Structure 1
Amino acid sequence: MASMIGSSRLAGALALGLVATGALAQGHTLTTDDYARAERFLGPNTAPLVDHAIQRVTWLDDGHFWYVDHDAKGDHYRVMDAATGKATDAFDQPRLAAALGKALAKPIKSDKLGIREYVVAADGRLDVQLDGKHYLCDLKPAQGECVAKKTGKEPGVLSPDKKSEAFIRDWNLWLRDVATGKETQLTTDGVENFGYATDNAGWKHTDNAILVWSPDSKQIATFQQDERKTGDMYLLKTQVGHSELLHWKGPLAGDKNVTMIERVVIDVPSKKVVRLKMAPDQHRSTLCDDVSCGPEGGWDDVKWADDGKTLAFVSTSRYHKDEWFRIADPKTGAVRTVFEEHVPTYYESGNGQVNWFYLPASHEAVWFSERNNWGNLYLYDLQTGKLKHAITTGEGNVTEVLKVDPKTRTVWFRGVGRTPGVNPYYQQFFKVSLDGGKPVLLTPEAANHEITLSPDGHAFVDTYSTPTTPPVTLLRDSADGHTLVSVAKADVSRLRAAGWVPPTPITVKARDGKTDLYGMLFKPTNFDPHKKYPVVDYIYPGPQTGSVRGRNFLPSRGDNQSLAELGFIVVAIDGMGTPWRSKAFHDAWYGNMGDNTLPDQVAAIKELGKRYAWIDTHRVGIWGHSGGGNATADAMFRYPDFFKVGWSESGNHDNRNYEDDWAEKYQGPLVTHKDGTTNYDDQANENHAANLKGKLMLVHGTIDDNVPPSNTLLVADALIKANKDFDLLLIPNVHHGYGVEKGTYAMRRRWDYFVTHLAGDTPPKEFKFTMPKD
C-alpha cells in the first residue's frame, strides 16, 4: 500500500499513476501455495469434509425413505422405517459396487457409488441410475449381477402404472411398452417445427417429451408446438475442416412471430387426438420462462382430475400480465375459462413451484396471487368463477405448496417472512385449512427448512440450516410438527480443521436508505483487521433469483471464499428487484433492466466501507455470470468511477438478443418510438460502452445456445468503436456453462485478473488446479 512507502511524494505519484488501472499497488507476489490454499475452499474440496449432512431424501413408500449419510469413511446408503425410526443399510454396497463395476467394465468404489436415484423393481431387483443410465441389479447371488436396462434411444415419460413411456420420434409422439420394448406411434401429422410435445424454449432445447399422463395411464395431455415462423439461431463449432453448423429455433424479444402451442389430448388405447377448442396458446408458464419449469421436466401448468374426466390448465399471456384458469373436456375438446387475473407488471405463481391446485370433487381451485403485495393463497369456486375467500392473508409469502388434502381440507406449504424476527429469506413449513384461519407453524426453528413430505402426507423429513450453522435432519409429524425421530446432525469438525470459516451474514440499506438488504461477506482466513482490503462484488441481479445462492448451509458458495483467500473482501448482496420479498420489492425496476440492482450494490458497499475500516471502497471490483455478466459490464459503464475492475461472463448484454420470454416478462413489450428509439435501448450495454474507464474482461463460450455470444460481441464492437481498451476471452466449443476443464481455466484467469488489476499483486504463472481424485 502507498502508506507503507517512506516517501509521501513517491506514494502520491504511485497512487496517481495507478488510478487509471483501478488499483493501488501492493506489489506482493502470490505463490503457488497461495493459490493452492484458495483452491482448498472450492466445493469439491470442502463438501467431502462435512459429515452427516443429508442432501436429499427419497420416499420409497408411505412408511420408508432412503438417503445418503456421508462421513470420513464414505457414503452410506440408508433406509429409515418411519414407524420405528430405525435406519438400516439400503443394500450391500460392496456387492453392488462389484456388480456395477463388472457391468460398466470399470472400478466402482463401494464408498462412493455416485447413485442419485434407485427404486426396488417389481421382481425385487434394484433399479439403479448411474451416469445417466439405468441398471437392474440382482444382489442375491454371491457375486451380484447388474445388467443395463433396455431403453429406447429417445428419453421417455413413464406412465403412472409404469407400464408405458411416451417419447418423441420424427416430430410425433410414440409409445413404448416397458416390458417388451414394443413401440406404437400415437400421432402421425407432426412435421418439422410443428411437432408434438417438443421441448424447445429457445434457450433450452432437448429431446424430452413435455406431457402429462392422466392418473389411469389412458390419456396424455400435450401440445403441438408451432415454430414454423419462429426465427432461426445459428452457431459454428470450432474444428479442423468444414464447419459444423448448429441450428435451432429461438424467438427473440420483440419478434412478431414467436413459438405457439396448440393443446391436445391423446386417448392412448384408440390413438385418437382431440384438439382443444381454443386459439393457439403462448409458449409460457405461470412460473418460469418455459412451459416446463422443474428440473425433472413435466408440464407444470396442467393438472388432471383424479378420474381423468376433466383437465385443468392455466394459459399465460405473452407478457405475463394475464392468466386464465381453464377447464377442458378431454373427450370433446370443449374449454371453459373459469376466472382470470391481470397484473400491471408480471404474474408469478410462487417460488420453485406452480402453486395452483385443481379440486374437482368440491368444484374448487387453490390460486396463488400477490394482489395484496404478498404471495398468498385464495380459494375459488369453479362453478361460478368467483373468489370464495383468502386461505392465507397478511405479510410474508407462500413459496411452495407441497400438498393439498381435499378430504381434510388441509394445505401444507413453505413460506418466508411470515414469522416476526426470523430472517425474511428463511423458509419455514406451515399448514392451514382451505377454509382459512391462522396457519400453524410446523418448523419453529429460525432457519431455512428443506421439506420432503411422505406420499400420504402424514410425516415429513425436515432438514434445516443457516449459512453459518450446519444442517439438522428430523422426521416430523405433519399434524403438529413434533419430532418423531432424529435422522442426522451434521458435523463440520473436519471442515473446520481444514481451516474453513463461515461467511458473515450482513444487513445493509438499499438505495432508498430505508429498505433492508441481506447478503454475505467473505474474509480471508488469515484476515488482518489492520489492513485495507479491495472488494469484489459477486453479482446476479435477477429478477428471477439473487446473488446469495440460497440460505441453506453450504461449505462453499462458488469460489467466493477462495477469491477472498487471495486478499479480497468478497460480498454478495440481494438487491431490490430480486424475489422472495414483497411484490413491490420484486418489481423495483420492472421495465428498466439496465438497473441490475446496481444502485443497491453501490449503496451497500459504501455503507460497508463506513462500517468497517478494513474495506477499501476505492478498489472495488465486480463479476458475474449470465445475468451477472450483464450486470458486471453495466456496472463498469454506469458507475465507471466506482467499479474499477470487472469480469463479465456470458452476459445477456442486450435482451433484444436473448430469448423472448425472459426479456419480455421483466422489461415488457418492445416499443419503437417515432424517432426510432425503443424502450429497450437503455438496457443495452453496448449503448453505454463508451463510458468505460477501468479494466474489463468479457468472456463467452462460442457455442452458447442459451445466451448467444453475439451478446458479448455487440459490446466488444461498441468498445472498439469507442476506442476503449478491454480484454476478451472466447472459450471454444462450450455452452452457457464451461465444464470442468475449461471452467477451471476461466476461474484461474478470473483470479489472476483481480489479483493483478484490483489488488496490484502478481499471480503465480499459469496455476493448475488439482481436482479431488475419486
Structure 2
Amino acid sequence: MVLTTRSSRLIGALVMSTLSAGVAAQGKTLTADDYARAERFVGYNTTPLVDHAVHGVTWLDNDHFWYRDHDARGDRYLRFDTATGKTEAAFDQARLAKALGKLLDKPVDANKLGLTNFGVMADGRLDVNLRGKHYLCELRATTVCTAGKDDNAEGVGSEPGVLSPDKRSEAFVRDWNLWVRDVATGKETELTLDGVENFGYATDNAGWKHSNKAILVWSPDSKHIATFQQDQRKTGDMVLVGTNVGHPKVEKWKYPLVGDKDVTMIERVIVGVDSHKVLRLKMPPDQHRSTLCDDVSCGRDGGWDDVQWAPDARTLAFVSSSRDHKQAWFRVADAATGEVRTVFDESVPTYYESGDGKVNWQYLPGSNEVVWFSERNNWGNLYLYDLGTGKLKHAITTGEGNVTEVLRLDPKTRTLWFRGVGRQQGVDPYYQQFYKVSLDGGEPTLLAPEPADHTITLSPDGRLFADAYSTPTTPSITVLRSADDGHVVNSIAKADIARLSATGWQPPEPFTVRARDGKTTLYGLMFKPTHFDPSKKYPIVDYVYPGPQTGSVGTRSFNPARVDHQALAELGFIVVAIDGMGTPGRSKAFHDAYFGNIGDNTLPDQVAALKELGRQHAWIDLDRVGIWGHSGGGNATADAMFRYPDFFKVGIAESGNHDNRNYEDDWAEKWQGLLVTDKDGKSNYDDQANQSHAADLKGHLLLAHGTMDDNVPPYETLLVVDALIKANKDFDLLLIPNAHHAYGAAANYMMRKRWDYFVRNLAGDTPPREYTMKPPKD
C-alpha cells in the first residue's frame, strides 16, 4: 500500500496522539492516603508540633514580660522576672477559660486558649485577643469576661479605640466624628462636631483597606490628639455585590484608582481632649500617603507612624509624601498655633521609603536634630540633620547593608538601636541582625551576632531585649540580652522539633542562583518530597510573589510550613520560592530593578533561576514547569503564562491585580508612576495589563477570585476572563461566592483545588476525587 504525504502525516499525528495519551494514562492515580500524607505538612498540622518556640515576648514593665510556651500538653502563658530569671503563670488559665466559656456559651479548653495577645488595662482587667476578637476579663474574686472592641465592630458602643498613654481614655470614631471613652466608667464624649459622611475624622480607608479603627497619635501627656479629617467626597466608589437568595447585598465604599483626578486627601488637625477644640494645621490638604508603604495607616500595628510628638507636646513632627512617592517633606507644626515649617525634603528618581518594616525617622527637638533615613548611597542608612537649618550634619551609619528598623533612640546617651541586614560579610543578606550606634557616628556595635534571623523586643526602658533567632532550617533560640553589649543575661526558651521531625518533616534547602543579568545573586528555598528519589524526574512548581513591597520567600526565620510548599512537594513536585530583582532587602538598585515596568514581575529572574536549577539538578524536569501565586503573585502567574507560554506549562493565578489601573491608587502609582496617556490614547500602564497579553496563552491556567474581595476587586480577574474568551482560549475559572481576598473558610478548598490542578495537568497523575481537608477544630 502506497501512502500519500498527507496520509503519512495524518497517521503520524495519530500515532503521536496515541503515544501522548499513553503517557498520560501511565500517570499514577493518587489516593486519599497520598493527600493525607501531604496534608500532614500543612501549617495547621506542623505548627502545633514545634515545642517551646518563643518568637517574641510582650513586656509588662521594665522588669517583666509574658510569653506563650507551647508543647504537647498545650499552651502555657508565662510571666518572666528578669531580675530572678524565674517564670510563673501569667494568670489563672483555668479561671480564664471558665469565664470565656460562660461568655461564649461553649466549653473553652484551658490548655488550648489560642490567645494571640493579651494586655493589662489600667483597672487591672485583662484585654484578651482570642482568634481576632477582644474580651475584657476581670480575674479577681469573681472571674467575669465581657466582649471588647474589635477593629471592624459595628454598632454604637462597640467601636474599637486607641488607648491614651495614661491608659485612662481611648479615642474612637463614630458617625464620622472623633470621640473619647473613659476606660474606667465608660463615659463617652464627642470631641468633633463637623465630621460628615466621606469627610470624617481619623477614618481608616485606604481603598484596599477600610476598617472602623481610628487613625491618630496621642500626645505624651494624653491631652491632645493628632489626626486628620479625611476628604473622600470626590473619591470614586468601589461596589461589590453579594451572593444570596433574595435581593443581593451591596457593599459600597470609597476606593481611589490609578489616574483618578480626585483622590482621597487628608487635612491635618490637632484636637484638644479637654477643650474639644480642633486646630487645623496651616497647610494645604495632604496626600494619604506613607513613607513606608501605601496609606497613612501603615506600620506593624496599623497606626500612623509618620507622625511624632515632641516630649513636651508643644510641637508635632510629620512627613508628607507626594502622590507619586518621589518626594518627602519633613515638617514641624506648632501645636498651639497650627503654624507649619518645612525643615527639609528629599527627592528621588523612583520612590522614597523611610525603612523596610518600620518608619525610621526620629524627631529630636531636645537637641534640635532629626534622624533621617535615606538610600542616597544605594543602601538604607541613617543621617543626622540640624532641625533649625535643615542642613545635613553627618551620616550616622555608612557603607553597604541596610538599616531596616530603628527600635529605640536614647537622646541622653545619644545612642540608637536598630535592626539591619546585609551588614556582615559571609552572612545571608536577608538575616535581620541587631546593632547599636552613636548619633555622632562611628562603627555600629553588633549586639546579636549569631548568623541567623533575629526578632528583637526591647524592654520599655531599653536596658534589655528578648532575642529570638533562627534560620529557615534551624528552630528558634530565645534569650534575654543586655542592650549595652549584647551579652546573654538569661535563657528564655529553645525550640524543640522532635515531634515535628517524627512525622518525616524535613526543612527546605536554601540555594543561590544568578539573576537575569548573569551576575546578581538571588536567594531561594527549595522543597523536595520526603520520599525524594534523585534517579527520577520531577516537575517543578515556582511559587511567586513579585513584590515590589515584599518577595516570594518571606521571613528568614524558622517556619515549619511556608504556605503549603512542603505539602505540594509531597505529591511529587519540586517546589521553589525565589526572591527576584525588584524585591526589597537588598540594595536600592536591586529594589528599583523594574520600576516603571511592573509587568516585569521578576519573571526574567524566575526563568533564569529555574533554568539554572535545571542545569544543576538532573532530577528537575524543565519540560514541566508550573507557577502559582496569590494577589501580586496571581498577577505574576497569569503574566508568566502569557509572556513565557513555552516555558510555564501550568499556572494558578489567585486573586490577581491583573491591571493596576483597576487597583487602589497609591500602590501602583508608587511602583509604576503616575498614569500618563499620550495623544493616541496609549499609556505607560498598557503593557502591565494582563488582559493585553491573554491571547498568547498556551498552557493550563486556573484563575481564582473571591467575589467580595475588597482588596483586589474580582473585576480584575474578569478582565482577563473576558480577554481569554475573546481570544477563544481554554482556561479554568473558580469564583468563590462571598469570599474576601484570602478566601476565609474556603481557603482549604482552594488549596485542595490547587493540588488537584498541578497533579492532573503538570504531573500527569490523577488526584483522588473530592479529597476533604481536615484542619483541627477549634
Partners in 1 of 2:398 and 2:276 — Cα distance? 46
Correspondence for 2:484 among 479, 498, 506: 479
Correspondence for 1:759 among 760, 763, 774: 763
Partners in 2 of 1:361 and 1:309 — Cα distance? 12
1:94 positional shift: 2.0
**1:7 alignment partner in structure 2:** none
**1:416 alignment partner in structure 2:** 421
Q: Residue 641 of structure 2: SS of its match in structure 1?
A: helix
Instruction: Note the alpha carbon deviations across 1:540-566, whole angstroms, 9 max, x for none.
Output: 000000000210100000100010011
1:602 partnered with 2:607: yes
1:293 positional shift: 1.1
* AA partner of residue 270 (structure 1): S
- Map 1:190-205 → 2, pairs under 5 A: 190-205=195-210
> In the superposition, relative to structure 1, how do residues 26 and 479 fare at CA in structure 2: closer, same or farther (>3 Å)?
farther
* AA partner of residue 196 (structure 1): Y
1:129 positional shift: 3.2
Partners in 1 of 2:26 and 2:307 — Cα distance? 60
Partners in 1 of 2:486 and 2:248 — Cα distance? 60
Partners in 2 of 1:286 and 1:16 — Cα distance? 58
1:19 positional shift: 11
Partners in 2 of 1:494 and 1:18 — Cα distance? 48
- Please list every run of 5 or more consecutive structure 2 residues that lacks an aligned counterpart in the other structure: 1-11, 150-156
1:674 positional shift: 2.1
> In the superposition, relative to structure 1, how do residues 218 and 123 fare at CA in structure 2: closer, same or farther (>3 Å)?
closer
Partners in 1 of 2:685 and 2:755 — Cα distance? 33
**2:358 alignment partner in structure 1:** 353
Contact 1:594 1:684 in 2 (8 A): yes
1:183 positional shift: 1.5
**1:175 alignment partner in structure 2:** 180
Q: Residue 61 of structure 1: SS of its match in structure 2?
A: coil
Partners in 2 of 1:15 and 1:219 — Cα distance? 81
**2:7 alignment partner in structure 1:** none
- Map 1:311-350 → 2, pairs under 5 A: 311-350=316-355
Correspondence for 1:705 among 686, 707, 710: 710
* AA partner of residue 35 (structure 1): Y
**2:3 alignment partner in structure 1:** none
- Please list every run of 5 or more consecutive structure 1 residues that lacks an aligned counterpart in the other structure: 1-11
1:122 positional shift: 4.4
Partners in 2 of 1:629 and 1:128 — Cα distance? 35
Correspondence for 1:266 among 271, 279, 291: 271
Contact 1:54 1:69 in 2 (8 A): yes
Q: Residue 744 of structure 1: SS of its match in structure 2?
A: helix
Contact 2:55 2:455 in 1 (8 A): no
> In the superposition, relative to structure 1, how do residues 588 and 425 fare at CA in structure 2: closer, same or farther (>3 Å)?
same
Q: Residue 437 of structure 1: SS of its match in structure 2?
A: coil
- Map 1:627-666 → 2, pairs under 5 A: 627-666=632-671
**1:80 alignment partner in structure 2:** 80
Partners in 2 of 1:495 and 1:319 — Cα distance? 47
Q: Residue 746 of structure 2: SS of its match in structure 1?
A: helix
Correspondence for 1:747 among 734, 743, 751: 751
Correspondence for 1:220 among 215, 225, 232: 225
Contact 1:62 1:455 in 2 (8 A): yes
> In the superposition, relative to structure 1, how do residues 303 and 640 fare at CA in structure 2: closer, same or farther (>3 Å)?
same
* AA partner of residue 177 (structure 1): D
> In the superposition, relative to structure 1, how do residues 135 and 621 fare at CA in structure 2: closer, same or farther (>3 Å)?
closer
> In the superposition, relative to structure 1, how do residues 554 and 19 fare at CA in structure 2: closer, same or farther (>3 Å)?
farther
* AA partner of residue 585 (structure 2): W
1:120 positional shift: 3.5
Instruction: Note the alpha carbon deviations across 1:268-315, whole angstroms, 9 max, x for none.
Output: 111111110101000101001110112422211000001100000000
Deviates more, 1:149-158 or 1:539-548: 149-158
Partners in 2 of 1:126 and 1:198 — Cα distance? 27
Partners in 1 of 2:19 and 2:711 — Cα distance? 37
**1:6 alignment partner in structure 2:** none
**1:5 alignment partner in structure 2:** none
Contact 1:18 1:24 in 2 (8 A): no
* AA partner of residue 65 (structure 2): F
> In the superposition, relative to structure 1, how do residues 167 and 568 fare at CA in structure 2: closer, same or farther (>3 Å)?
same
**2:144 alignment partner in structure 1:** 146
Contact 1:20 1:694 in 2 (8 A): no
- Map 1:730-741 → 2, pairs under 5 A: 730-739=735-744, 741=745
The count of aligned residue pairs is 760
1:96 positional shift: 2.4
> In the superposition, relative to structure 1, how do residues 640 and 384 fare at CA in structure 2: closer, same or farther (>3 Å)?
same
1:705 positional shift: 1.1
1:240 positional shift: 0.8
> In the superposition, relative to structure 1, how do residues 290 and 16 fare at CA in structure 2: closer, same or farther (>3 Å)?
farther
Partners in 2 of 1:14 and 1:642 — Cα distance? 25
**1:621 alignment partner in structure 2:** 626
Q: Residue 438 of structure 1: SS of its match in structure 2?
A: coil
Partners in 2 of 1:125 and 1:248 — Cα distance? 36
Identity of aligned residues (%): 73
Contact 1:594 1:683 in 2 (8 A): yes
Contact 2:122 2:168 in 1 (8 A): no
1:163 positional shift: 1.4
1:150 positional shift: 6.6
Contact 2:135 2:145 in 1 (8 A): yes
1:103 positional shift: 3.0
Q: Residue 298 of structure 1: SS of its match in structure 2?
A: coil
Partners in 2 of 1:484 and 1:760 — Cα distance? 56
Instruction: Note the alpha carbon deviations across 1:719-743, whole angstroms, 9 max, x for none.
Output: 111111111111100111101x311
* AA partner of residue 53 (structure 1): A
1:377 positional shift: 0.2
Partners in 2 of 1:14 and 1:584 — Cα distance? 53
1:125 positional shift: 4.4
**1:770 alignment partner in structure 2:** 774
1:102 positional shift: 2.3
1:448 partnered with 2:460: no
Q: Residue 68 of structure 1: SS of its match in structure 2?
A: strand
Partners in 2 of 1:120 and 1:546 — Cα distance? 36
TM-score when scaled to structure 2? Answer: 0.96
Partners in 1 of 2:657 and 2:134 — Cα distance? 37
Deviates more, 1:356-365 or 1:183-192: 183-192
Partners in 2 of 1:150 and 1:604 — Cα distance? 49
**1:111 alignment partner in structure 2:** 111
Instruction: Note the alpha carbon deviations across 1:421-458, whole angstroms, 9 max, x for none.
Output: 00000000000000000000001100000000000000
1:350 positional shift: 0.8
TM-score when scaled to structure 1? Answer: 0.96
Q: Residue 361 of structure 1: SS of its match in structure 2?
A: coil
